[in-house]
Structure 1
């Protein structure tokens, strides 16, 4: 833990260029480190969002494909039912 003299040394220190340079380098390193960590977090978030968007796109495509298949099957059954009803009408009217 810094003593009163150590903590005040930096604020009143005017003669030690080396000490000022060390403080400046430490400050720069801390800023660069924080910047890099923040950038990593943003990139991970972007990647996660990209994966989520891909999944949503895949789900939407699956939904569209499934709806088309169901519509085709319903149309086929509808046509078969019409043919069956027509056949029954023909049989009844004979």
Structure 2
């Protein structure tokens, strides 16, 4: 039986950025392409993470008042602030 395997973020990033065929066709320009692709992947991942944090903050805010903890506004603001920080760091 085959076990489920989940690649790491770095493995996915490498898979996105490394293109052996492109390296073969343009060995001089390939390093620049690889750096560009890695930065593009990092921007995508940052946008994904920020969106996820914002979604969690929205879902948390939508909970009935009695189900939220005392610091609900603080927690929601932390998620939104962290999402904004991730976007800023990624240049989004």
Shorter-chain TM range is 0.3 to 0.5
Q: Structure 2 length as normaliser, TM-score?
A: 0.41
Higher helix share: 1
